[in-house]
Structure 1
């Protein structure tokens, strides 16, 4: 198995063992691991393909072996899945495991598992200005809810709700809400998905696999023969102008994401802003800024003015969720599921 080692300059920042916390961000495609110090700063980051390992324990042991360090005694992992108890069966990946069995196999005293977008939400107050790029206007208001959404292998949704001068992170599966059409063309595309999948959730369209299927749908409605492409290739051809069907697919992707993001903002009253994470949107760069996303975000009839006042930001740092996982260990509000030594 040929996997790149972590950057040695980063590894040298590994904190003393007593302060070290193992943190992870486990998605449907990649698992990211790092070591956090007592202040929550994260270094020694390594990204691994989930498909190279039978489960998280193997990926973690490989990561620690690359560092040549013992496993810390405390860990927190964000994972792209509902976290409702000890048993974890990932939605978009075949890994299934027991949190407590994982804790014992790694020799951990404490293991906290939480939804990956809950971890990402906890990082939002920690982002520096250069780690977020505004799309459109509006100004964030202190003391109000903050929304979070992001397409990747799936569609993550979370946020922070203001409470008592602080924020409570949400454990949400909002990516599985039913997707609605804004016009006749979108209705035809969604009907294509319905005929192939039954229920058409937002995630079914607004994700990497969803973008690939959206391209299939555009071609089918145009009477063109099928030409399956992965989502990343659809994006690349759309941005280069090489394929009109890819361009239309990515146009609808950004527009529909604007509508779903506005629904989230209205549901939460997210006048503290809405952030876009995940693996797809940060890669679109200027294309996304010029897309129909923001216009559709504000296109809500009588509440267009309300939404125009809410800023939207693209998260511009790839490892924010690791900082959020570290913050979860110190958060007094219970999030996710905790397995601990001596617990019943």
Structure 2
């Protein structure tokens, strides 16, 4: 590589890991996709990527921003949905990096929000975004990610969190029965246990139990597929229930943060069935907040359809950190 500085970004989920190189214009090139389960550690993936791209970090100054699906506030990182753990300081030393920034994967998505065009998102229902007001992001995938974006000091500030692990709060009789079913499996039931790939499977299993019919060994993709082609009534009900619960959860985020800039649905699940989602009860549940129905009705909701929002956000974050460093020189 001929650049004097190379900037690496990665988006690390519980299933997939994407790595790329930030270009001078902020775009990301040389993007590679890895399946996490095929590797024993994050370092082994990054070593392979650096080899593939012919990058020698002992010779070329290299910075990296890694967006990862777990808390990042300590030096020791332990992934929530993947058996990887590592020290940030040791990883930086082992890879011979100039700077290593670790951010939550949904913090990265939050950083991408303001750069998304209308072609990279789909609006669901009414409401209009108000400039410089808070925005909230949530996304079902392998887990359930949550982040917020606020305006302060003349810039956008991303606020991470672990809201996906908040207690699941049922709002109708069916959801109460789903909760009871999950309480036989877990000492505590979080939203992630119903709003994720596993969550779709567990909603399906719960509905089968409620209806006293045997549950098939379906994965989330099987359930959504059979729901979309209308070949299984319980699968259809499970996907509809998933959309309802997501609407309630997203509406709670809107209330919590006064997210008049909009609530954004990210993750790898919902973009696969946009038309179904638009026709679901998601938006109805989002605004069904009794005395605060009018409050939430004013808040727009979007589905992010951009394939790599985490990568875009990690790039934006790394560029900002590089600019800050340059200003301090």
Residue matched to 2:49: 63
Residue matched to 1:258: 247
Structure 1: unaligned runs, 5 residues or longer: 1-14, 333-344
2 CA distance for matches of 1:73 and 1:60? 13
Decide whether the 8 Å contact of 2:77 with 2:85 is kept in 1.
yes
1 CA distance for matches of 2:56 and 2:125? 46
- Please give the root-mean-square deviation of Cα atoms over the aligned residues, in Å: 1.5
1:113-152 map, 5 Å: 113-152=102-141
1:216: how far off? Answer: 0.7
Residue matched to 1:234: 223
1:81 equivalent to 2:70? Answer yes
1 CA distance for matches of 2:181 and 2:4? 55
2 CA distance for matches of 1:281 and 1:118? 19
1:38: how far off? Answer: 3.5
Which stretch of structure 1 is more off in the superposition, 164-173 or 106-115? 164-173
Decide whether the 8 Å contact of 2:109 with 2:310 is kept in 1.
yes
TM-score (norm 1): 0.89
Residue matched to 2:187: 198
1:161: how far off? Answer: 1.3
Structure 2: unaligned runs, 5 residues or longer: 322-329
2 CA distance for matches of 1:70 and 1:246? 50
2 CA distance for matches of 1:171 and 1:285? 26
Residue matched to 2:20: 34
1:16: how far off? Answer: 4.9
1:210 equivalent to 2:196? Answer no
1:308 equivalent to 2:297? Answer yes
Aligned residues between the structures: 319
Which stretch of structure 1 is more off in the superposition, 176-185 or 150-159? 176-185
1:19: how far off? Answer: 4.3
